Amino acid sequence: MKERILKNIAEIQVSGKSTIELYNEISSAVMREISFTAPATDKKSAYYLSIEFLIGRMFYNNLLELDILHETEEILKAKGADISLFEMIEDAALGNGGLGRLAACFIDSAAGLNLPVYGRGIRYKYGLFKQKFEDGFQEELPDDWQSFGDPWGVRRESEARIVKFADGEVRAVPYDVPIIGKERINALRLYQAEGDEKAEKISEYLYPADDTEEGKLLRLRQEYFLSAAAVGELIDAYVALHGTDFSSFPVYNAIQLNDTHPVLSVAEFVRILTSTYSVSFSKAVSIAKQVFNYTNHTILPEALECWPQDYIRKLLPEIYTILKKFDAAEHREFRRNGVSKADEEAMSILRNDTFSMANLAVYIAHRVNGVAKIHTGILKDSLFRPAYAFAPEKFVNITNGITQRRWLQLCNEEFSALIDRKIGCGWRENIGLLSELKKFGNEDSVIAEFAQIKEKKKEQLADYVYRKEKIRLLPGGIVYAQVKRLHEYKRQLMTAFAILEIYEKLKKGDLEDFRPAVFLFGAKSAPSYFRAKGIIKFINEIAKKIAADDCVNKKLQVVFVTDYNVSYAEKIVAGSDVSLQVSTAGLEASGTGNMKFMMNGAVTCGTMDGANIEIVEQAGRENNYIFGADVEEIKALSRGKYDPNAILKSDDAARNAVNTLTDGTFDDGGRGYFKELYDSLTVGASWHKPDHYFILRDLPDYVEALLRINKEAGTKEFTQKQFINAASSAYFSSDRSIREYAEKIWEL
């Protein structure tokens, strides 16, 4: 196959063709020769249902997986073309953040491990949105990623199916995208909604604005559309092979629900079995409990979806009936087993006239997993405590992971080559071998070469940022990076205040021998998230102020990159020195950005939260920069009389930084963003106390950690810390994660 593909590529005429034409011709040359690995008819397969698959740019990754990337580069070079041309091709905009990127890493690892795991998602026309800044404000534009063509998606017209709503029908047309491993090519199946204008809105945008009833109903349509298409397909395939005795369905199928968005598939499964095949409700539920599994990704209440029962009744009347039956069955089961009234209510599927998708998932799931040790502990001890007490065997931990093939081999060829020379190439497929790198941590020549690679990757990052933003990064600076979804609990605002404190110290001459420092931000705010949009504007105002100050701008720089995506991340994780992972302890389920930075040799400056805790376990606290309140202290502060205004009164530096929100230092154009942020810290709101995310508690510790890094950066000892982090990152491969899913949950 490899030889045929390369022959096809070699026959392509390059001269006179646009980059897009070449991209489509080379991609098509690959697609003509590959074939998908079909699910086995006599063995179990797993299906990963996710509203997001943030797969990124597929061109380079697919050539890498087929082991033809460098040969293709040489063929193009001989024809006078540069393979880097294809960096202009936009990422497939099918996800937002960690949820979708995790799903992409998982299906990549499954193919790499020769496991029958198949993704199911939605083929969005525009995906999330393309972000641009106008005077520092985020603006959202449609991101028509398909305008470059979609040579990787294979339309399966004959397998289209009908999804029914109370007010009409929608065609779900599948497109299969190849997920390439060494021994198999799995299909990521993405459904496109077709029909009238209302129908096609279902797959138009990822996460349509839900600040209106119309927007909420559209999200509900999306979730049911995915659920019904995927479950209906699997049931039809089973019946064709095994008939209508569904007792063996769990022998051949495991379904993983990636967060709550696809949880309606549980109700759809039971609906089809009971209404189409006359299976009793109790039998259908019993089968479902052996098939479905649920991954929880957050403890934030607003992310634990609850659908008003009126919405379900109006749009999906048959599903409404099934959900009511689920709720009644759960209550009977709890009462029969002596569960207390309080615990019964806490885990009720129907609560306050809404259906809780998380409670439904926990009730039905064969296994429920958290995504980091601390997160799973919180699920057991707090969020789902009654369910854990009732059925502890359901709950398992599987810490998230990332694919080393994209996040090290592809995005950091130079470091990968160094690793190959020292320990061989086996780590690319057997990531556990990476730990052998630790023995070189005290070898001066290796550390020196690693330092040179870090500098080269920073230069490449600077070139990329200049091409994208027309901003030149400070040469020779320490690169601190905070790139992730914009949310208050992730505390980008705290980083902004820390930068302001450092800025003031530099202005006063309090920081001698301060190494130039670049703070890189990348994030998108949900279009209707007022505070998050305010934080973006605030950071851009800080960046503008520092850039205009000739007393400081050779020492300090802030850059908020536009339209942060997977391709941008590949450059940033390889070119950064410091990974800022500063969420309020107990609120970040895991994180995967922290793992990508670690694998590329960045130290973590962060709180004891999510997977940071396990990073410290693997690489050592002494090789990272941990600060701030831990989960127990946050709990105590939440129960006590935490007073952020007292902190502001006693801490001049913090007060001065926070006051810039309202004292005229910065301008939000009269939109009220900055006053809202100020009030969130000092007054609170109807739904939270002042400084709900404890920014002011952790800010002094954070500034101290950032300055300690600045003092130590550039030394051999600091570079050794970076190297040890990379050498200790094998545990965070998604290969390990997927093996655990296959063994602990899917029983493949």
- What is the full DSSP assignment across 275-308? HTS---HHHHHHHHHHHEEEE-----GGGS-EEE
pLDDT means per 10 residues in the chain (748 residues)? Answer: 94 93 96 94 96 94 96 96 92 86 96 98 92 98 90 97 98 98 96 96 92 95 99 98 98 98 99 98 99 96 92 98 98 96 97 97 98 97 97 98 96 98 96 97 98 98 97 96 97 99 98 97 95 99 98 98 96 98 96 97 98 98 98 95 97 98 97 98 95 98 99 97 98 98 98
Contact 428, 409 (CB under 8 A): yes
H helices, E strands: number in the chain: 31, 21
3-state helix, strand, coil in the chain (%, to 5): 55, 15, 30
pTM above 0.85, yes or no: yes
User: Are 471 and 554 in the same domain?
Assistant: yes
3 state SS of 188: strand
Q: How far apart are CA 101 and CA 52, in angstroms?
A: 8
Q: Is residue 680 part of a domain?
A: yes
Q: What is the dihedral of CA 620, 622, 623, 627, to 10 degrees?
A: 100
Q: Do 578 and 687 belong together in one domain? A: yes
233 and 214 part of one domain: yes
Instruction: Tell me, yes or no, whether 193 and 338 share the same domain.
Output: yes
Same domain, 154 and 300: yes
Give me the CATH number covering residue 600. Answer: 3.40.50.2000
Look at strands 517-522 and 556-561 and give their pairing. Answer: parallel
Which of 221, 297, 375, 406 is an active site residue?
Answer: 297
List the beta bridge partners of residue 580. Answer: 605
Query: Helices marked H in 470-517 — which ranges?
Result: 492-508
Let me know if residue 370 belongs to a domain.
Answer: yes
Judgement on whether residues 342 and 491 belong to the same structural domain of the protein? no
What is the span of the domain harbouring residue 226?
A: 34-56+91-400+738-746
Distance CA 23, CA 21 (A): 5
CA distances to 347, 592, 604 from 405, in Å: 40, 15, 22
In a domain, 73, yes or no: no
Distance separating alpha carbons of residues 663 and 552, to the nearest angstrom: 21
Q: Quick one: tokens of 546?
A: 């520092």
Q: Is the dihedral of CA 565, 566, 567, 568 positive or negative?
A: positive
pLDDT for res 415 = 98
134 contact partners, CB below 8 Å, separation of at least 6: none
Q: Hey, what amino acid is at 611?
A: A
Following CA atoms 259, 262, 268, 273 in sequence, which dihedral angle do they give, to the nearest 10 degrees? Answer: -60
Q: Are residues 480 and 602 in the same domain?
A: yes
pLDDT on residue 77: 95
- The pLDDT, as a whole number, for residue 97 is 80
Q: Which two tokens stand for residue 133?
A: 């800044």
446 and 392 assigned to the same domain: no
Collapsing DSSP to helix, strand or coil, 370 comes out as strand
Q: Please state, as a whole number, how many other Cβ atoms lie within 10 Å of the Cβ of residue 476.
A: 11
* 297 included as an active-site residue: yes
Query: Quick check: is 692 catalytic?
Result: no
Cα 453 from Cα 414, distance rounded (Å): 6
Q: Which residue shows structure tokens 């926070």? A: 658
Q: Do the domain assignments include residue 436?
A: no
Q: According to the model, what pLDDT value does residue 96 have? A: 84
Considering 57, 484, 533, 571, which one is annotated as catalytic?
484
pLDDT of residue 109: 97
Q: How many domains does the chain have?
A: 2
Q: What is the pLDDT of residue 649?
A: 98
Which of these is catalytic: 394, 457, 490, 697? 490
Same domain, 742 and 693: no
Rg, C-alpha atoms of the chain? 26
Q: Which residue has the tokens 């970076």?
A: 722
Is 373 labeled as catalytic in the residue annotation? Answer: no
**Catalytic site residue from 125, 271, 596, 721:** 596
Assess whether 475 and 391 both reside in one domain.
Answer: no
Beta strands 253-258 and 45-49 are parallel
Any domain includes 71: no
- Contact partners, residue 35, CB within 8 Å, separation at least 6: 185
The yes-or-no answer on residue 399 being catalytic is: no
Pick the catalytic residue from 189, 366, 406, 485.
Answer: 485
Q: Which of 260, 274, 495, 592 is catalytic?
A: 592
Q: Is 45 contained in some domain?
A: yes
In the β-sheet with 350-351, what is the strand arrangement from edge to edge?
306-308, 354-356, 350-351
Q: Is residue 573 part of a domain?
A: yes
Query: Could you tell me if 453 and 368 lie in one domain?
Result: no
Is 6 a member of any domain? Answer: no
Mark whether 341 and 371 lie in a shared domain: yes
Q: Where are the alpha helices (DSSP H) in 55-208?
A: 58-65, 69-78, 98-112, 197-200
